[in-house]
Chain A
Amino acid sequence: MDRAEVDAKIRELAEPFNKKGIEIKEETTFQNDLEFDSLTVMDFVAEIEDEFDIIISMNQQAEIENYGQLVDAVHKLQADS
């Protein structure tokens, strides 16, 4: 899967969690812009993990602040697996 396809899939998965319908750009942050709390993060991450059959450990999550970083990480993880 190329980056654009990964991006499209994650955008789809993010939609139900993006309660305020905020426009998601590469630099959109999960904590401040999308206001995801820890429970939302857990559910969102679990959906991505199941979709791409990957693990995003808490250690890796700690390095991901914005949407672009998430797409990069998932793109790399699914290519490696």
Chain B
Amino acid sequence: MSEGILQPDKPEALEGDNRDLFSKFDDVIALREGLLAQGREDPFNLVMEKVLSPTRAICNGRETILLGTYNYMGMTFDPDVVEAGKQALSDFGSGTTGSRVLNGTYQGHKECEEALREFYGMDHAMVFSTGYQANLGIISTIAGKGDYIVLDIDSHASIWDGCAMGQAEVVPFKHNDIEAMEKRLRRIPEGAGKLVVLEGVYSMLGDIAPLKEMVAIAKKYGAMVLVDEAHSMGFIGENGRGVVEDAGVIDDVDFIIGTFSKSVGTVGGFCVSNHPKFEIMRLVCRPYVFTASLPPSVVATAATSIRKLMHGSNKRAHLWENSRALHKGLRDLGFKLGTEEAQSAIIAVIMPDLEKGAHMWEALIRGGLYVNLARPPATPANMTLLRCSLCAEHSEEEVGQILEIFEKAGRETGII
């Protein structure tokens, strides 16, 4: 990367008519227009006119089963959670209008961090305004110029952006490949700072990382380990602490990153850690300092929801039943899936290409089912995926209905 501080890069000549800084998006614009020209409903412009429950909404005028919201534990309409938010809105107002380090830390922010410390059994918890900022902030702050970050090639955008912002040397390895990870750690020059970044659940295919082996190797080479548990909090592991708990390595990881916008059911992000110097992050982490803190109602709903998730073992069990039932049902219908068996609450259905994927997505939405359409470059190996994320509030009957809609749409579009 060019250091170009003293002089700007040589400007590239703009060619043709009406060329400007937006010309670089012309390919994406053409792709999108091509899809819409075939009369398809726009998969990236869905409007939910009314939300009836964690699993039902009126979308584009139709009553729709929601199967792509990451609302894994169905906390968004929990009466205690909603009540806590209303109370905080009345007592503390609509927003803090300030940074966490100035006038933006209210009692509710401290209570939310207290709930996180208890949930994970860790010494420190730091709440960010979004999950994206939690990864961006922690990674860019701890791994700087001259340090090395070893990470999975399928990492989330917020992890890549954190790596770029911190200017560390970035060394990716093939997805979930333990040997490839070890080789890269072994080659890092002696004395360099090392951070290994992993995710518990990879959200595109819904597969989990072999954390037991990977964390042991990272420790063997003296690396710090950060695990993003965004897609596992609340239902993987005995206490819902994530894949790190399930794999028995929670005490060996240095940082867990998470979000409030999935199982917790609101918005926000966090990092928990046992590192004795962790609190200094509050002063040196720019995405924490230079933004307004979460509104009081949001941290109140988050804290209430986190405390309820500690006792959510029945819901966890039902969510797993749903996930396994959907996986088996889709496989029996002949769909190609992202994993051999259900490893998380995400079931990814692999489409032959973007055009067929968009066609299938549209057949599903017309049939009353919402799933996520994921396409390159967000997907691994340039796949087009229909990603289903289950909710603990989906009933057994609803899973049956979902399979019927999939079968009908699959036959209509010739995918099965």
Binding site for B on A (CB under 8 A): 37-39, 42, 46, 49-50, 53-55, 57-60, 62-63, 81
B172 beta carbon closer than 8 Å to chain A: yes
Which A-chain residue is minimally distant from B150 (CB atoms)? A55
Q: Is the CB of B188 within 8 A of A55?
A: yes
Q: Is the CB of B172 within 8 A of A55?
A: no
Binding site for A on B (CB under 8 A): 1-2, 148, 153, 167, 169-174, 180, 183-184, 187-188, 377, 381-382
The 3 closest A-B pairs by CB, nearest first: A57-B169, A58-B170, A55-B187
Total of A-B residue pairs, C-beta within 8 Å: 39
Measured CB to CB, the closest approach of chain B to A39, in angstroms, equals 6
In the complex, which residues of chain B have a beta carbon less than 8 angstroms from the beta carbon of A58? Answer: 169-172
Q: Is the CB of A42 within 8 A of B153?
A: yes
Which B-chain residue is minimally distant from A52 (CB atoms)? B187
Measured CB to CB, the closest approach of chain B to A56, in angstroms, equals 9
Q: Is the CB of B382 within 8 A of A59?
A: no
In the complex, which residues of chain B have a beta carbon less than 8 angstroms from the beta carbon of A54? Answer: 187
How far does the alpha carbon of A54 sit from the alpha carbon of B188 in the complex, in Å? 9
How far does the alpha carbon of A54 sit from the alpha carbon of B167 in the complex, in Å? 20
Interchain CB contact (< 8 A) of B171 among A39, A50, A57, A81: A57
In the complex, which residues of chain A have a beta carbon less than 8 angstroms from the beta carbon of B169? Answer: 55, 57-60
How far does the alpha carbon of A41 sit from the alpha carbon of B128 in the complex, in Å? 35
In the complex, which residues of chain B have a beta carbon less than 8 angstroms from the beta carbon of A55? Answer: 148, 169, 171, 184, 187-188
Q: Is the CB of A46 within 8 A of B171?
A: no
In the complex, which residues of chain B have a beta carbon less than 8 angstroms from the beta carbon of A53? Answer: 187
In the complex, which residues of chain A have a beta carbon less than 8 angstroms from the beta carbon of B382? Answer: 37, 39
Which B-chain residue is minimally distant from A38 (CB atoms)? B377
In the complex, which residues of chain B have a beta carbon less than 8 angstroms from the beta carbon of A46? Answer: 173-174, 180
Q: Is the CB of B170 within 8 A of A42?
A: no
In the complex, which residues of chain B have a beta carbon less than 8 angstroms from the beta carbon of A49? Answer: 183-184, 187
Interchain CB contact (< 8 A) of B174 among A42, A60, A81: A42
17 further interface pairs, Cβ-Cβ under 8 Å (given A49-B183, A59-B169): A37-B382, A39-B381, A42-B172, A42-B174, A49-B184, A55-B169, A55-B171, A55-B188, A57-B148, A57-B170, A57-B171, A58-B171, A58-B172, A59-B1, A59-B167, A59-B170, A60-B169
Which B-chain residue is minimally distant from A50 (CB atoms)? B183
In the complex, which residues of chain A have a beta carbon less than 8 angstroms from the beta carbon of B377? Answer: 38
Measured CB to CB, the closest approach of chain A to B165, in angstroms, equals 13
- The 7 listed contacts between A and B (C-beta, < 8 Å) are A38-B377, A39-B381, A39-B382, A49-B183, A58-B172, A60-B169, A62-B1
How far does the alpha carbon of A37 sit from the alpha carbon of B172 in the complex, in Å? 16
Measured CB to CB, the closest approach of chain A to B36, in angstroms, equals 25
How far does the alpha carbon of A81 sit from the alpha carbon of B184 in the complex, in Å? 13
